Amino acid sequence: MRAREQEAGSFTQDRKRNLAARWKSFGQASFGYILLAPALIIILGLNLYPTISGVLTAFTNQSLLDPFNWAFVGFANFQKLFGDPVFRISLVHSLVLTGLAVSLQVVLGLILAHLLIEQVPGIQFFRSIGMIAWVLPIIASVVMFRFITLPNYGFINILLNDLGVGHLARNWFGDEKYAFVLILIMHLWRNVPFYAISFMAAMQAIPSDLYEAARIDGASNWRQFYHVTLPNLRYIILVMVVLHVTFTFNNFDFVYLSTGGGPVNSTEVLPTFIYKQAWNGYELGYASAGGVLMLIVLVVLALGCRKFIGGFSEE
Amino acid sequence: MKKSKRRLVIVYAGLFIFYAFLLLPIVWLVLSSFRNTDSIQSGRLLPYPSELTLTNYVEAFRIANLTTFLVNSFIIAITVMLLVVFIASLGAYALSRFRLRGKNIFMMLALMPQFFPYVLILIPFYVLMSNIGLVDSHLGLILTHTSITLPFALWMLTGYFAAIPRDLDQAALIDGCSRLGVLFRIIYPIAIPGMVVAGFFAFVVSWGDYLFVSILSQSPETQTLPIGLQTFMSSLQVRWGLITAGTVIAIVPTIVFFAIVQRRLVAGLTAGAVK
């Protein structure tokens, strides 16, 4: 900053010095570009290029069996997608899962944040271990959930037997009705504490006189929450929602590793559907078309969240 | 007084519900990894002391290629962590301290990959990696994990570096410190908490990645723990003692690392977004 001001001042006084200063500032800027180069190369070369290439692949008939021999086929892959019942059911599952997971995460996250913000003895312990599920490899979480829901000796079924309601015990992941619920529960298990701890941090930053003023005006706890807490959390809520809409909608591991999309497609989501088209069906072009549609849906969802939460908070 | 006591009961009851749900799968996994097969299959919630054993751990190492998977995971995740923090810190230094043309466009470009479906990126990635002969190599996986974690790390560290007062760099520059010296001697020491969180993020993503490894790695020489555990789970069907022991081994490094960074984690993870 300062160097720049000096540079501007010298312009009227001494052109020669100005030229030297500009040369120096160019030298500095180019050094900046050199520092940025490795990151630039990786982001352009290994993030943007593959994505653009993926979008182009969506319009080809590229196959994994002969990946270097392909032709453009226009919108054929997209037409095929819309006619594919498994694609349609995967899209519905993905949307339902994302909608349910994120809205429940916000509600449960807000509740847990209100508990974690209480200065009760031992609260530091609860705050510190909250994020533990978030850091675990997803395969490890899947092993845990498969293990507690095992039909014969899983924790849940043993507990149901011990409580005398053994007829409720079942093969949870193998059951068409419950497998999807379990996927949803795993998403909640992993991410609710992350929401809660972020919300709590934002709540601690809300000035306490706002609450005092509300109390003097006779506002109930519920109204204080609605008129003070919620508006002040709108930014962090937006950040967490956009982050997790993306995470949940794109997540492949939870479904693929726990149910593989079954039983009978009851948990199939877009990422697992696309993965199977590419790597089991060898149809790279067709799979890419699915990926492009995912990308479009995701952008629409992210913009929608922004609009909804932005508008909601202004009331 | 009475009201605050009631409040205390409600808070603890609420916390108990949430944390029972959070910790139950983990505790059950760890407990079971020390039980023998008969005990696991006994249908009892708690084992008798005589049923506790370390055999599962010994067997897990002996039967499966657990050591190979562990070594691969460590090589890849640690290299990715160091590479991401180093490259992101250079880039963040440039973005926070230099007047660069197209800086805002670049920041937008750097954020976009966060939204890209990995299943879509994976396809061109595979074609690219087979073109340059990096399929089934450590280097290929390291590059892949670096590229998927770098955008976020760069964003986070740029925000972090921007918050460090420039007066400090100016003083060091006047004292004859070079531009690079400022980064290493002034900014690094102050930014260590942020850099540790960025490194932790890269480590956790690389350590836990299943999707990319499942395609880009094709032999046990390069496969990492998530692949190992998945193979374990499908091939050892009934031997849950071994599966749980293998899983515990896979989560210990992330938990130890988590214990170190835990206090700064959330602030760090949301800082990039808030800036």
Q: Span B198-221, mean pLDDT?
A: 94
Residue A115 CB: number of other CB atoms within 10 A? 22
| Contact between chains at A143 and B229 (C-beta distance less than 8 A) | yes
Round to whole Å and give the CA distance between A142 and A172.
Answer: 13
Token pair, residue A76, equals 């054929």
Give the side-chain half-sphere CA count within 13 A for A253: 25
B263 touches chain A (CB under 8 A): yes
Round to whole Å and give the CA distance between A288 and A271.
Answer: 11
Distance from the Cα of B42 to chain A's closest Cα (Å) equals 7
At B273, which amino acid appears?
Answer: A
Q: Which of residues 117-176 of B touch A (CB under 8 A)?
A: 117-125, 127-128, 130, 143-144, 146-148, 150-151, 154, 166, 170
pLDDT for B234 equals: 83
**Residues of chain A with C-beta less than 8 angstroms from the C-beta of B123:** 54, 57, 278, 284, 287-288, 291
Mean pLDDT of chain B: 89
pLDDT for A19 equals: 62
pLDDT for A153 equals: 85
Asked if the model's pLDDT at residue A15 lies above 70, the reply is no
Pairs across A and B, CB distance < 8 A: 272
Give the side-chain half-sphere CA count within 13 A for A4: 7
Which chain B residue lies closest to A129 (C-alpha atoms)?
B262
- For tokens 């976020």, the residue is B152
pLDDT for A118 equals: 92
| Contact between chains at A291 and B144 (C-beta distance less than 8 A) | no
Which chain A residue lies closest to B243 (C-alpha atoms)?
A143
Integer Rg of chain B from CA: 23
**Residues of chain A with C-beta less than 8 angstroms from the C-beta of B120:** 51, 54, 274, 288, 291-292, 294-295
The model's pTM is: 0.90
Round to whole Å and give the CA distance between B129 and B149.
Answer: 18
**Residues of chain B with C-beta less than 8 angstroms from the C-beta of A35:** 90-91, 93-94, 98
More confident residue, A280 or B163: A280
pLDDT for A16 equals: 62
Q: What does each C-alpha distance from B144 to A56, B76, B126, B138 come to in angstroms?
A: 21, 10, 10, 10
pLDDT in tens, A113-145: 999 999 999 999 999 999 999 999 999 999 999
Q: What percent of chain B is predicted at pLDDT more than 70?
A: 96
The answer to whether B152 and B199 are in contact (CB under 8 A) is: no
Categorize the per-residue pLDDT at A275 as very low, low, confident or very high, splitting at 50, 70 and 90.
very high
**Residues of chain B with C-beta less than 8 angstroms from the C-beta of A140:** 208, 229, 247, 250-251
Round to whole Å and give the CA distance between A189 and A105.
Answer: 9
Q: What percent of chain B is predicted at pLDDT more than 90?
A: 51
B251 touches chain A (CB under 8 A): yes
Residue B88 CB: number of other CB atoms within 10 A? 30
More confident residue, A275 or B274: A275
Q: Which of residues 70-89 of B touch A (CB under 8 A)?
A: 87-88
Distance from the Cα of A176 to chain B's closest Cα (Å) equals 20
Mean pLDDT of chain A: 88
Candidates B18, B119, B218, partner chain A, best to mutate (most A CBs within 10 A) = B119
Exposed, middle or buried, B169 (CB in 10 Å: 0-12/13-18/19+)? Answer: buried
pLDDT for A315 equals: 39
Asked if the model's pLDDT at residue B210 lies above 90, the reply is yes
Residue A149 DSSP label: T
Which chain A residue lies closest to B241 (C-alpha atoms)?
A147
Selecting from B11, B28, B113 the residue whose C-beta is nearest the C-beta of A43 gives: B113
More confident residue, A23 or B241: B241
Categorize the per-residue pLDDT at A22 as very low, low, confident or very high, splitting at 50, 70 and 90.
low
The answer to whether B43 and A161 are in contact (CB under 8 A) is: yes
B107 touches chain A (CB under 8 A): no
pLDDT for A1 equals: 43
The answer to whether A214 and A223 are in contact (CB under 8 A) is: yes
Asked if the model's pLDDT at residue B251 lies above 50, the reply is yes
Among B160, B237, B170, CA closest to B197: B160
Q: Span B116-139, mean pLDDT?
A: 91
Round to whole Å and give the CA distance between A47 and B61.
Answer: 37
Asked if the model's pLDDT at residue A224 lies above 70, the reply is yes
**Residues of chain B with C-beta less than 8 angstroms from the C-beta of A235:** 274
Distance from the Cα of B20 to chain A's closest Cα (Å) equals 11
**Residues of chain B with C-beta less than 8 angstroms from the C-beta of A50:** 121, 124-125, 128
B67 touches chain A (CB under 8 A): no
